[in-house]
Amino acid sequence: MDFSFAGKYMPMFFSGIKLTLLISVISIVLATIVGILVYFFKTSRFSIGKVYPLRIVAFTFIEIMRGTPVLLQILVAYVLVSMNPSSSKLPSNMVAIIASISAISLNSSVYIAEIVRAGIQSVPRGQMEASRSLGMTYFMAMKVIIMPQAIKNILPAIGNEFVAVIKGSSMAYVLGIAELTFSAKVVQGATYKGLEPLLISAIFYLILTFSLGRLIGWVERRMKASDSH
């Protein structure tokens, strides 16, 4: 194996890392917001007769997002975003980035909804009952009593989802976005080396996911520590 080309093409990989991180960070933030929304839709008590319309919306969305490949979702998102008239004013790689962020964050949101559900259900029922018995509204109780306790379970799990999103962001490659996987392909083409550029990309992915994993572990330990005052 010959890595002598590595120094020369390092800027290429670095700009790839930047894009990978950009897509992943924006996606995980959006996914968290949408995920919480999906959770509230999924558990909504709003009904017309015996039908719960918001639950049906959530259920359909979750099944579609979980039941179809992310790669396909990215391709569909690209077509949909391109069809929007205002997208013609944007540079084409911008359209691709928006499309992949949309698809990745929507896909991840259904998993985050599940994380939020598990986190909230881990808080004993008595906490909500005690809050309500003191006259708090449902949303008050959620905000000051349930969520602050649930977050201890939710945050580390969202960190793990973040790792999945970083890896998943490599699929933005199909839209020609120059993220970390795409960089490897470009360097392959320029150097005629098959394996080495891919290995370099792999190492960068590992550095990202490994350090993130350690960070999550640290946060988790701190939250446990604050449990036993």
Partner 1 sequence: MIRIKNLCKNFGENRVLNSITTEIKKGEVVVVIGPSGSGKSTLLRCLNLLEMPTAGEIVFEEQNITDKKIDINQIRTKLGMVFQQFNLFPHKTVIENIMISPIMVKKVSKEEAYLKAVSLLNRVGLAEKENAYPSSLSGGQQQRIAIARALAMEPDVMLFDEPTSALDPEMVGEVLNVMKQLAKEGMTMVIVTHEMGFAREVGDRILFMDQGQILEKGPPEQLFNHPKNARTRDFLSKVL
Q: Which residues bind partner 1 (CB under 8 A)?
A: 124, 126-127, 129-137, 140, 144-145, 148-149, 227-229
* Spatial CB neighbours of 34, under 8 Å, sequence gap ≥ 6: 105, 106, 109, 112
Cα separation of 143 and 115, whole Å? 17
What's the min distance (Å) between Cβ of 138 and partner 1? 9
Closer Cβ to partner 1, 128 or 199, answer by number: 128
What's the min distance (Å) between Cβ of 51 and partner 1? 20
Residue type, 195: L
For 3, phi then psi, to 5°, come to -105, 20
For 177, phi then psi, to 5°, come to -80, 135
Closer Cβ to partner 1, 138 or 210, answer by number: 138
Closer Cβ to partner 1, 89 or 125, answer by number: 125
* Spatial CB neighbours of 89, under 8 Å, sequence gap ≥ 6: none
Residue ranges of alpha helices (H) inside the chain are 6-42, 53-67, 70-83, 92-121, 125-133, 138-141, 147-168, 180-191, 196-227
Closer Cβ to partner 1, 88 or 226, answer by number: 226
What's the min distance (Å) between Cβ of 5 and partner 1? 54
What's the min distance (Å) between Cβ of 117 and partner 1? 20
Closer Cβ to partner 1, 94 or 144, answer by number: 144
What's the min distance (Å) between Cβ of 148 and partner 1? 5
Cα separation of 40 and 60, whole Å? 14
